[in-house]
Structure 1
C-alpha cells in the first residue's frame, strides 16, 4: 500500500470532526512565569527521575508560541483542537485567589482558535494537580471534589461564552493507577487507590453539574484510556492478572460515571469510601464518551505488584511501533464496539497516535511513513466500526507537536510536527501533510 493512499472513510458521518490534541504540561512551558503555581509534575521533574533528567520548564514554549501553533492547526485544516487548562496557572494554590495572567493566556488562545475557525475543546484536568493541593492530600482527600468543582466554576464563568465542549478529566485510570500501584503489595496502598478512584469520580460528577448549570449549550464528556488487557500466556494466573487489571484500567471510571455502578468485583473495596447518594453524584448526564486508544497491553501475574500483575511478553506475530507498542487496528475497532455497546454514548476518539524518535534527514525534512501507515490503518478500523453501527463522531490525532512525554521526557515523539527543542523550531512532518490531505479530501 502506498503512503499517498487515504484510508476508507465512507462510513463516517458527514459532520465527522477531525482534530488534534495536546495537554498543558506537555507543551506550554513557562512554568515559573506570570504567577503560575507549581504542579505535582514540576516537583516530580525535580527528582531527576525523568529520562535524561528532562523537565517541563520550557517544553514546546507553547505559552509564547501559541499563535504559531494555531497557524499549524489552520494549515492542517482541523475543525477542533483539544487542549487542557493548567489548573496551577489559573489558580496557583489550587483554590482561593485566581491568577488573572493565567486566565488571560487561555483567553488569547481561545480567541486565536475561534478566529482561525477551529473549535476549542477544553479539558479541565490532564494530570497537573496543583502542588498546594497535593500537600492537602490531593485526590486522597474527599474535599478534592469541592476544589475541582470550584475550579470548574471559574473556568465556566471565564470561557463558557466561547467554549462549549468540555471534558472533566483525561485518562483518570492512568493518573490514579500508575501513581499509586507501582509499589509492593500492600493493603493500605490498595485502599488509598480505591479512595483516590472514588474521589476523582465524585469530582467528575461535581464538575459536570457546575458546567451544566453555568454554560449554555454545554457539551460535556470525560476522556478514558481504553486498552484491551490480554494475558501474555495461556496460564490461569496470567488470565486472572489481565482480568483484574482490565477492571482498573477500563471500567472503574466509565462504569460509575455512565452506568451508575462500580464493577462488581471491586464494590466491596470501594464501599468504605462511599457515602449515601455518591453514585447519583457521580453518574450525571453526559453528551459523549471520549476515547483514547493506542494498543492492547499484555499482562502476566506479578506477585510483588499491588494489583498482582506485571507487563508480559507481546505476541511475536504483532508488529510494534518504534517505542514497542503493539500495532493492532482490530483491537481499536473492538474497543469502539465495546464502548458503544456498554455505554450508548456518541464517541469521540480524542487520542490515537504513533510514537517514534524520528529526526530530520540531510535535507531538513522529517519523513515518517510509519506514522502515516499507522494512522491510515487505525482510521480504516474506525471506519469499519462505524460501518457496524458504532456512533463515532470525531477523531483527534495525538499529537499536534512533539512534546514532553511524561517519564520518557523528550525521547519519544508523537507529533505531526517535529519540534527542535534547542531552537523550538517547528517542522511539519510528512504525516502532517498526509493528515492535511485527508481532511481536505473528506471535509464537506
Structure 2
C-alpha cells in the first residue's frame, strides 16, 4: 500500500473514465514479423540517432505478450486502454493490399480487452508512418489525405464492430513541428511546415467522415498536445517567439478542426496551400477533445531557426522531474480551463505522466514515490478544473509500461510497470498499486 494519500476527486463525474495509454511503435516490437512493413521510425533507428543506438525492434515485445499486458490492466482496474494501430503492420506499403496477420493481431488484442471488460480506444496514427509513403513525400504529398482515408476505412471495417472510440491523430503539432514525419528530424522550410499542417488537417477531416459512415455509434476525437509556451526571459523578442510557437504548438490543429479557421497569424502562410471548401472538409463534427499535457515549455528567440524560436532555460528553482521537465499542476488546470472555454467539447486527458530513471531496489521492488506525488498533484488540479465547470470525463496515464521513448530510447521510463528489457519481465511499481487504490476508491464511492 502506498503511504501517499489519494487525491481529491470529489468534483469528477460519477462516470469518469480511468485508463492508461501506449503506442504501437513504443511497445510492440516484432518489427519484421508477420508481414509488417517498415515505418519511418525503423529507418530513423537504423541511422543510429537514438540514444544508446536503441531501436524498436523488440521494445516491450507487446506483440507476443499482449495477454500479459491486458492482465496488468485488469489488475489495475482501468476501464479503458488507449493504444494505436501500426499503419505499416496492417498496410505494409501504406496503401493497397492489407496484411491479414497484422489485422489479426489487433483482433486478438481487442478481443482480449473486451473479455477483461476494458474498453479499447483506438488511435489511428501515433507517428509511425509507413516508410513506403515517406518515400512518396509523406505528409507533404497531397495524396496523403486519401492514403489516410483508405487506411481509416480498413481499420473501421475490421474493428468497428467492437471498437467505438477512435482518435484520428496523436499530437499532430509535435510530428509536424519537429520534422514532417518526426522520424525524419529535419524540419525543411516554413513552406513545407505549412503544407504538412494543412494536409494532416485534411486527413483528419477525411478520417472523421469515413468513421461516421462506417462505424455505428462511433465516438471520435483527435489528441492534441497542449503545453503553455512561456518566454524564457522578460525581453520582448523572447515573448514574441513564445507567442508564435504557442500558435503552432497549441492552435494550428484544434482551431481548424473544431472552430473552422486557422489562427489569424497563420492564415497568410496557409492560404496558398488551400482549395475552396478545405476548411469545411477539415471541420467535421467530433465528440470529444483529446488532451495530452505534461508541462510548460520555455522559449527564447533565435532568428536563425525556423519560426524564430529555440528552447530556453527554465525558471531558477522550478521543481523538475528527473528528466528536467517542469512540474506545474497549476498549468494543467489552466490548460483544461482554456480548452473548455475555447472549444466547448468534453475533454479526455489521454496522456499525463512522469519521466524518471526507476530501477528495482535490493528486494526487486520499484519505488517511484516521485511519480505518485506528481500524479496526485495533477489529478487534484484536474479536480479543481472540474469544480470550476470544465467538462473533463477521463484521465489516462502515460504509460502502462516503460517503453521506447523516441530519441531517448529506453533510458527514460514513464511506466506504471517497470520493464526489464533484458528479460522483458514486467514489475509493477509502487505507482501501479497507488493507481489501483485510487480506481477502487472511486468505484466504491
Q: Secondary structure at the match of 1:307?
A: helix
**2:36 alignment partner in structure 1:** 36
Query: 1:252-401 counterparts in 2 under 5 A?
Result: 252-401=252-401
- Find the aligned partners of 1:115 and 1:180 in 2 and give their Cα distance: 38
Partner of 1:171: 171
User: Which residue does 1:55 correspond to in 2?
Assistant: 55
Give the match for residue 431 of structure 1. 431
Partner of 2:68: 68
Following superposition, the deviation at residue 188 of structure 1 comes to 6.8
Q: Using the alignment, how far apart are the partners of 2:200 and 2:158 within structure 1?
A: 23
User: How far apart are residue 312 of structure 1 and its match?
Assistant: 0.6
* Distance verdict in 2 for CA 1:167–1:180, change over 3 Å: closer
Q: CA deviation at 1:218?
A: 0.1
How is 1:126-275 mapped onto 2 (pairs within 5 angstroms)?
126-180=126-180, 189-275=189-275
1:111 matched residue in structure 2: 111
The structural deviation recorded for 1:303 is: 2.0
Contact 2:87 2:128 in 1 (8 A): yes
Please tell me whether the aligned partners of residues 226 and 293 of structure 1 are also in contact (alpha carbons under 8 angstroms): yes
Residue 87 of structure 1: aligned partner: 87
Return 5+ residue gaps in structure 2 as ranges.
none
Gaps of 5+ in 1: none
Give secondary structure in 2 for the equivalent of 1:439: helix
Shift of 1:302: 1.1
8 A contact 2:228–2:246 mirrored in 1: yes
| Secondary structure at the counterpart of residue 204 of structure 2 | helix
8 Å CA contact retained: 2:289, 2:348: yes
State the secondary structure of the residue aligned to 1:179. coil
Match of 2:45 in 1: 45
Map Cα deviations across residues 394-423 of structure 1 (whole Å, 9 max, x no partner).
Answer: 000000000000000000000000000000
Q: Secondary structure at the match of 2:189?
A: helix
Name the Cα RMSD after superposition: 1.3
- Pair 1:4 & 2:8 matched: no
Task: Show CA shifts across 1:200-231 (max 9, x none).
Answer: 00000000000010000000000000000000
Q: For each residue in 1:61-86, what CA deviation from the matched residue of structure 2 results, as whole angstroms up to 9, or x when unmatched?
A: 00000000000000000000000000
Q: Is the 8 A contact 2:9 2:380 kept in 1?
A: yes
Distance 1:309 1:271, change over 3 A: same
8 Å CA contact retained: 1:3, 1:372: no
User: Structure 1-normalised TM-score?
Assistant: 0.98
Q: CA deviation at 1:380?
A: 0.2
Distance across 1 between alignment mates of 2:278 and 2:140: 16
Q: Distance in 2 between matches of 1:187 and 1:291?
A: 24
* Alignment partners' CA distance in 1, 2:114 and 2:297: 38
CA distance in 1, matches of 2:385, 2:48: 43
How many angstroms apart in 2 are the aligned matches of 1:56 and 1:261?
Answer: 38
Mapped to 2, the partners of 1:201 and 1:180 lie a distance apart of: 13
Q: Distance in 2 between matches of 1:406 and 1:4?
A: 31
Mapped contact 1:181–1:189 kept (Cα < 8 A): no
SS at the partner of 2:350? strand
**CA shift for structure 1 position 316:** 1.5
Alpha-carbon shift at residue 304 of structure 1 (Å): 1.9
- Verify the 8 A CA contact 2:327 2:374 in the aligned structure 1: yes
Distance 2:56 2:381 in 1: 34
CA distance in structure 1 between the partners assigned to 2:278 and 2:193 by the alignment: 17
Give the total of aligned pairs: 440
Alignment correspondent of 1:408: 408
Offset of residue 180 of structure 1 = 4.7
